[in-house]
Homo-oligomer: A and B are copies of this chain.
Amino acid sequence: MPPYALDDLELSAGKRARLYRMLHAHGPGNGTGMFLPVDQGLEHGPRDFWDNPDSEDPEFELRLAEEGNFSAVVFQIGLAEKYYPRYAGRVPLVLKLNGKTEIPPDDEALSPVNASVEDAVRLGADAVGYTLYVGSPAQDRDFNQLAQVRQEANRFGMPLIVWSYPRGKAVNAKGGQLTSWAIEYAARVAQELGADVVKVNLPENDPENVRLTPKPYNTADFSEDEAVRRVVRAAGRTPLLVSGGSRIDEEDVLSKARLGIRAGATGIIFGRNVWQRPHEEALALTRKIQAVIREEAFAPLAARV
């Protein structure tokens, strides 16, 4: 169950109105969220559409988002301009403001801004998304860039969702991007720099990697649940979304959602795991995920015992 309700947070009227639409009026409701990200065409290229060729046409994801009652669909500016108008108001939109290709190596990762908060306002979006590469040698430019976006988002009352990802050669040397150390740090950095919502990967407890992390993380051994609760706590008053990553089995998808929400995440943001499946299968999975979220987030404690 999310540790904070929208009313507990210090949000301006505009941010509150827009988050309310995604976390109450759409999606699983009652302050939880289920987002459909469709930025992989930029991040990974069309190779991600091979498993389900229909998914290359963003209409596929929009129909799914509307029928599956997602909290929002996430697009880069081009897809938003070309495909969103016919769904405007029917499905909330998160406009992703930066992105990059996977072609150059990630040693000095930086995700350049390609759209503005004003673009998001103009399109009727309910949030903007920004990818921050925590620990990258390019973090100086990243922090500057994020500050611009944050100030513009603040001025327009637009919620800012930060994809907070440990990345770069210094991270790799310290156990990589999936250790508790790296992910907790990333969650904290998003909160420190002013994210309204933070999106993270769940940590993996790989002993070889853990050993490379800074003290005292290098000798810690967290259970799966504990590890996720720690990330939620590191994010503080920043509602947290759990990333999906590449496609896994349906049962694993549901477990991941359950694990996250149970530990206090506000929602999930699963892309490939949803739209790399054919329409009917994707829709069925969507409904199961929603059921899990509702169950974990709202069930009376008694019912869980």
Contacts and interface: CB of A to CB of B under 8 A. Distances in A.
Interface of A: 7, 9-10, 12-21, 24-25, 39, 41-42, 45-47, 50, 56-58, 76-86, 88-90, 93, 98-101, 103-105, 110-116, 118-119, 121-124, 134-137, 139-144, 146-147, 150-151, 155-157, 166, 168, 170-171, 174, 181, 184-185, 188-195, 214-217, 230, 233-234, 236-238
- By secondary structure, the A interface counts as helix
Given A47-B214, A121-B121, A113 B170 contact: no
Contacts of A86: 7, 10
A101 B10 contact: no
A89 B21 contact: yes
Contact of A16 (B20, B85, B137, B217): B85
Contacts of A216: 47, 50
A58 B234 CA distance: 11
Given A103-B134, A112-B143, A144-B114, A42 B77 contact: no
A128 to B, nearest CB: 13
A89 B18 contact: yes
List the number of copies, as a whole number: 5
Nearest to A4: B82
Given A114-B147, A135-B101, A193-B114, A157 B121 contact: yes
Contacts of A39: 192
Contacts of A17: 88-89, 93, 123-124
List the 10 closest A-B pairs by CB distance, nearest first: A20-B89, A17-B124, A103-B135, A45-B185, A17-B88, A112-B140, A14-B124, A16-B88, A112-B143, A17-B89
Nearest to A58: B236
A76 B123 contact: no
Contacts of A81: 10, 13, 194
